[in-house]
Amino acid sequence: MKLQQILLIVLILFSSACVKNKSGQPASNPSISNLKSFEVNEVIQTSQYTYLRVSENSAERWVAVSKMDATVGNTYYYDSELQMTNFHSKELDRDFETIYFINTVSTNPIAGHSTPPADNTIAGHSGKTETKQDGAVSFEKAGNEITIAQIFENPENYSNKEIEIRGIVVKVNKQIMGKNWIHIQDGSSFNNNFDLTITSQDLPSVNDEVTFKGTIFLNKDFGAGYAYDVIMENAVIVDKKTTAL
pLDDT band at 133 (very low <50, low <70, confident <90, very high): low
CA distances from 30 to 27, 103, 114 (A): 9, 20, 6
Q: What is the tens place of the pLDDT at every residue in 151-168?
A: 999 999 999 999 999 999
Residue-level pLDDT at 29: 41
93 against 143, higher pLDDT: 93
CA distances from 120 to 91, 130, 179, 197 (A): 25, 13, 17, 17
Is 0.75 topped by the overall pTM?
no
- The answer to whether 136 and 245 have CB atoms below 8 angstroms apart is yes
Is residue 193 over pLDDT 80? yes
Residue type, 28: S
* Cα 66 from Cα 45, distance rounded (Å): 10
Count CB neighbours of 134 within 10 A. 18
Instruction: Find all residues with CB under 8 Å of 164, minimum gap 6, and list them.
Output: 146, 211, 212, 213, 238
Mean pLDDT of the chain, nearest integer: 77
Residue-level pLDDT at 89: 85
- The answer to whether 170 and 183 have CB atoms below 8 angstroms apart is yes
Q: What is the tens place of the pLDDT at every residue in 51-75?
A: 999 999 889 999 998 888 899 999 9
**What domains lie within the chain, and their CATH numbers?**
30-126 (2.40.50), 148-242 (2.40.50.140)
83 against 125, higher pLDDT: 83
Residue-level pLDDT at 124: 36
* Cα 161 from Cα 215, distance rounded (Å): 5
